[in-house]
């Protein structure tokens, strides 16, 4: 690099892999290119899919004079939206003890899921000062950036068993059991683990919750796929609700994103929920007050339009039913494409076992392809996926799945 005259102390950082790959894909003129990189839902024609229910809500919102005066909201965000977001996540409406449960949760609006993770990390770094945060190995790469920026030392718990391509439950439990210290934060993916697509089963979640309680660890849930993974908002929130409902003496928090489940990627809709324990219920307002202090210094308040769409849908029974239908469309197309890829690889007798592709859950498959094979897919076939072998299944379609399977077959046989 030529020497420049600057007061800065900067050196280049690696570009974000997911968005660099997306950029490279966008400018690739190859007619058969396939994007299996960034986690965004695509139709079978490879197009972004504005959810029909979102389009309906947008039409209704056009006449909303208040919204389109573009006024400020409050620092904590759009308060009715926050109640709706909280109820969707924790699902205690109409249940006994609902008011008491709500009193334990302080919520603020964030700049989507990344913003919620970041705000939560910053808040805990300032006010809890955990000795460590434990991330799954592997995890969404941005988790590492977020906690590094918050200046909290990062440790990793085993999560993935490469030989069997399965969830390493024993590894996770024994590492947290023997090494995590009281007060450490444990980052957990609420469902559709990114990048592996492998989630604990309910029995395993129960054991993880018990371990967190017994060792006094602080669970930090990242919920980016509620309803998108299984098609059911209840099922995908099971772990969060289990922790919250059965461990009332444990504090925890949730970073909630609406990017995937409403297809509102560019609108940046999200919320951060801090759950106090039974003994410190009155702390909730002080928590929100401190979160607002951080928000004010960073971005003043969340944006309005995206959260108004979510609010419109979730306050109208008919639109809510439409949304559940849209979730079914997305989650079932992804399951269909997993099966289609699996069937093709089996038909081609591609060396190796491929059941993991249909066993994994949510947007991604951790294919098991090596970095060299991933590189060859891009170089020879213009198929883009992350070098870890993570493939975004929604980039597959009936039109390209045979092409992708044949390309995988080639690199498996020839790029070892
Ligand atoms: C992904 O993992 O591809 C998505 O969650 C998009 C992102 O922000 O990284």
Q: Is 205 a catalytic residue?
A: no
Three-class SS string for 253-278?
Answer: EEEEECCCCCCCHHHCEEEEEEECCH
CA–CA separation, 274 and 290 (whole Å)? 11
Tell me the mean pLDDT in the region 352-369: 95
Is pLDDT at 116 greater than 60 in this prediction? yes
Q: Which residue has the higher pLDDT, 65 or 187?
A: 187
Neighbours of 64 (CB within 10 A): 12
- Model confidence at 29, pLDDT cuts 50, 70, 90, reads very high
Strand pairing report for 166-167 and 160-161: antiparallel
CA-nearest residue for atom 5, ligand 1, is 39
Minimum-distance ligand 1 atom for the alpha carbon of 16:
9
Model pLDDT, residue 2? 65
Confidence of residue 44 (pLDDT cuts 50, 70, 90): confident
Q: What is the pLDDT of the chain when averaged over all its residues?
A: 95
Q: What is the pLDDT of residues 84-99, one digit of tens each?
A: 999 999 997 667 788 8
- CB of residue 39 inside a 6 A radius of ligand 1: yes
Which of 168, 199, 222, 409 is catalytic? The answer is 222
Region 7-32 average pLDDT: 94
- What is the C-alpha to C-alpha distance for residues 329 and 281, in angstroms, rounded to an integer? 40
CA of 268 to the centre of ligand 1 (A): 12
Does residue 140 carry a catalytic annotation?
A: yes
Of residues 43 and 236, the one with the higher pLDDT is 236
In the predicted structure, residue 30 carries a pLDDT above the cut 80? yes
Q: Is the model's pLDDT at 1 over the cut of 70?
A: no
CA torsion 139-86-328-242 (nearest 10°) is: 70
Q: Kindly give the distance from the C-alpha atom of residue 18 to the centroid of ligand 1, in angstroms, as a whole number.
A: 7
pLDDT tens across 177-196, in order? 999 999 999 999 999 999 99
Among 101-110, 250-259, 277-286, 382-391, name the one with the lowest average pLDDT.
277-286
What pLDDT, on a 0 to 100 scale, did the predictor assign at position 188? Answer: 98
pLDDT at res. 83:
96
- Asked if residues 305 and 66 have their Cβ atoms less than 8 Å apart, the reply is no
Residue 250 is classified by DSSP as: S
CA 77 to chain centre: 21
Note the pLDDT of residue 46: 86
194 pocket-lining for ligand 1 (C-beta < 6 Å): yes
142 close to ligand 1 (CB < 6 Angstrom): yes
Tell which one of 36, 38, 117 to mutate to probe ligand 1, the residue whose CB is within 8 A of the most ligand atoms: 38
Confidence of residue 408 (pLDDT cuts 50, 70, 90): very high
**pTM, to two decimals:** 0.96
Tokens of 274: 């801090």
Reported as a pLDDT band with limits 50, 70 and 90, residue 67 is confident
């Amino acid at each position: 690099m030529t020497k420049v005259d600057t007061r800065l102390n900067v050196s280049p950082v690696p570009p974000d892999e997911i968005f660099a790959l997306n950029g490279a894909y966008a400018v690739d003129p190859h007619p058969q290119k396939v994007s299996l990189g960034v986690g965004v839902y695509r139709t079978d024609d490879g197009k972004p899919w504005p959810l029909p229910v979102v389009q309906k809500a947008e039409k209704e919102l056009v006449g909303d004079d208040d919204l389109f005066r573009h006024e400020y909201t409050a620092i904590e965000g759009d308060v009715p939206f926050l109640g709706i977001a909280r109820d969707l996540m924790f699902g205690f409406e109409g249940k006994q003890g609902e008011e008491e449960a709500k009193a334990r949760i302080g919520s603020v609006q964030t700049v989507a899921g990344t913003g919620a993770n970041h705000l939560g990390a910053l808040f805990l770094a300032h006010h809890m000062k955990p000795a460590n945060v434990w991330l799954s190995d592997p995890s969404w790469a941005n988790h590492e950036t977020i906690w590094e920026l918050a200046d909290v030392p990062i440790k990793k718990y085993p999560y993935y068993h490469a030989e069997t391509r399965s969830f390493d439950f024993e590894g996770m439990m024994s590492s947290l059991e023997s090494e995590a210290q009281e007060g450490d934060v444990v980052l957990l993916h609420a469902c559709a683990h990114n990048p592996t697509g492998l989630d604990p089963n309910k029995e395993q979640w129960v054991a993880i919750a018990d371990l967190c309680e017994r060792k006094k660890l602080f669970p930090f849930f990242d919920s980016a796929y509620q309803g998108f993974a299984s098609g059911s908002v209840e099922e995908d929130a099971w772990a969060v609700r289990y922790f919250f409902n059965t461990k009332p003496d444990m504090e925890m928090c949730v970073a909630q994103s609406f990017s995937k489940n409403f297809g509102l990627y560019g609108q940046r809709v999200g919320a951060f929920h801090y759950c106090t324990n039974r003994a410190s219920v009155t702390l909730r307002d002080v928590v929100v007050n401190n979160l607002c202090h951080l928000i004010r210094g960073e971005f003043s308040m969340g944006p309005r339009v995206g959260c108004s769409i979510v609010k419109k849908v979730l306050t109208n029974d008919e639109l809510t039913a439409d949304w559940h239908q849209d979730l079914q469309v997305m989650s079932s197309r992804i399951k269909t494409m997993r099966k289609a890829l699996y069937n093709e690889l089996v038909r081609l007798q591609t060396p190796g076992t491929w059941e993991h592709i249909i066993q994994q859950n949510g947007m991604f498959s951790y294919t098991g392809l090596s970095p060299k094979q991933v590189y060859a897919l891009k170089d020879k076939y213009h198929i883009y996926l992350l070098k870890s072998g993570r493939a975004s299944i929604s980039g597959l379609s009936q039109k390209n799945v045979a092409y992708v399977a044949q390309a995988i077959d080639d690199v498996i046989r020839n790029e070892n």
